Amino acid sequence: MQDLSNYYHFSRDEWQNFHGEKHTQAITDAELLKIKSLDDEISIDDVKVIYAPIRHLLHVYLKNYRKLVKLKNEFINNENKKVPFIIGVSGSVAVGKSTTARLLKIMLERAYPQYVVGQMTTDGFLYPSKVLKKKGLMEKKGFPETYDMPKLIQFLSDVKTNNGPVKYPLYSHNIYDIIPGKYEEVNNPDILIVEGINVLQLPSNANIYVSDFFDFSIFIDAHADDIEEWFLNRFIKLLDMAKDDVNSYYHQFTTISRNDAVQMAKDVWNDINYPNLLNYIEPTRSRANLILHKSSKHQIDTVFLRKY
């Protein structure tokens, strides 16, 4: 276990008091229901108890960030240009990064209707399967060397420079590869949420890191046994979705017995995703501003806020 003495530790009960609005509800029941209908997975209780205070904390960081950018521009006699506020979300494969990022996006959009809030994953910066095969890295997908990190850093630098739309490639779980010729665009956002297993890593041959572009970062933490269960559940969902889709990578696993398919997914967890978590993802946890620890069923039981 890493030393987390550099963090304030809060139980769920303690954390829920920090939503910042003394007399009014931080989030209305109608808002909660709308968020819930967009994602049945998230418990309303978590939104109220955990995410409303996070939104308030982000407001503090955002307000300070904007002020600092303005004062810095004044210092160097530059005109005050918008610089996107970037939030990084990290944690294991299948710990719930994209679900959390999606929820944060909705909550921030509601808090700041005047702001453009973007959300993306770093999956698109994995090398395409063709390249991974050539490098003998197909069985290591998700390990640091399977990402084109210089390309990701250039992308984030372009986003911060904010001189027009910036394109990035797209990964599909369905085809288990980068989608050839398909790009998504980040266009002048006020806030960008970037989620990925690799976003807090410090490659030894680099002098600039992905996290240098972050103005706030969150690590989602849980016991490996719980994450394995969530990985297997998601695998089963993907199998169900691929039953009639011959183009899906997962279709091949629908033609063998369910037990054999689940055994294969367990092997993927044990051989790839678990070692990746242990060796390359978990060691980055203590770099995050905020750590959300989940217990079984995805319920967040402890929140760690970095002191300095």
Ligand X SMILES: CC(C)(COP(=O)(O)O)[C@@H](O)C(=O)NCCC(=O)O
Considering the complex, state which of residue 83 and residue 288 has its C-beta at the smaller distance from ligand X. 288
Give least dist CB 273 to ligand ADP, A: 9
Q: Verify binding: residue 251, ligand ADP, rule CB under 6 A.
A: no
DSSP string, 53-121: HHHHHHHHHHHHHHHHHHHHHHHTT-------EEEEEEESTTSSHHHHHHHHHHHHHHH-TTS-EEEEE
First vs last C-alpha separation in the chain = 20
Position among 73, 98, 174, 188 found at the interface with ligand ADP (CB under 6 A): 98
Annotated binding site for ATP: 91-98
Residue nearest to ligand X (CB): 142
Rule CB under 6 A: which of 179-198 touch ligand X? Answer: 197
Task: Choose the stretch contacting ligand X; rule: CB under 6 A; options: 12-20, 57-65, 217-225, 266-274.
Answer: 266-274
Minimum Å gap between C-beta 89 and ligand ADP is 8
> CB-wise, 153 or 220, nearer to ligand ADP?
220
What is the amino acid identity at position 72?
Answer: K
DSSP 209: -
The only residue of 86, 95, 106, 149 in contact with ligand ADP, by rule CB under 6 A: 95
Which residues in 163-182 are b (16+ Cβ under 10 Å) and which e? eeebebbbbeebeebbeeee
Is residue 285 part of the contact set for ligand ADP (CB under 6 A)?
no
- The answer to whether the CB of 288 falls within 8 A of the CB of 306 is yes
- Please choose, from the candidates 274, 285, 173, 275, the residue with its C-alpha nearest in 3D space to the C-alpha of residue 230: 274
Q: Which stretch binds ligand ADP (CB under 6 A): 73-81, 132-140, 209-217, 233-241?
A: 233-241
User: What letters, b where the CB count within 10 A reaches 16 and e where it falls short, cover 205-231?
Assistant: eeeebbbebbbbbbbbbbebebbbbbb
Is residue 174 involved in binding ligand ADP (CB under 6 A)? no
Q: Quick one: which of 84, 142, 169, 189 contacts ligand X (CB under 6 A)?
A: 142
Residues at the interface with ligand X (CB under 6 A): 93-94, 97, 121, 123, 141-142, 197, 268, 272-273
